Copies of this chain bind each other. A is one copy, B any other.
Amino acid sequence: MVKVIAKFFVKEDKVEEFLKLASVLVEESRKETGCVSYNLLQDVSNPQTLIMVEEWESAKILKTHMASAHFTSIIPEMSLLQFQKEEITVCKNVF
């Protein structure tokens, strides 16, 4: 199992647009084989901080996801809506 924590820093006036894009990415990603979970969270004290928390069956499947049409088309658009580059952390479960 591989987990991904992707933290996005969205411009104040771009949150709605970001959420629209993210909803498509979430919907399409959840359909992928080997996607265990794929959720978008929002910081309760700062709506501009959006965090994608993902679980994938393997690193190989995550790689397939990152080459998918929806990922490669949507992520660049989401990235443009930020004031600071996203932080992507690929993790393993410790306990």
Residue positions of A touching B, CB distance < 8 A: 2-3, 5, 7, 19, 22-23, 26, 39-45, 49-51, 53, 59, 89-95
Contact across chains for B43 and A91 when beta carbons are under 8 A apart? yes
Q: How far is the CA of A95 from the CA of B52 in the complex (A)?
A: 10
- Copies of the polypeptide in the assembly: 2
Q: How far is the CA of A43 from the CA of B4 in the complex (A)?
A: 9
| Cross-interface CB contact of A40 among B26, B40, B94, cutoff 8 Å | B94
Residues of B within 8 A of A95 (CB): 22-23, 26, 39-40
- A51-B5 CB under 8 A given contacts A95-B23, A95-B39: yes
Q: How far is the CA of A81 from the CA of B40 in the complex (A)?
A: 30
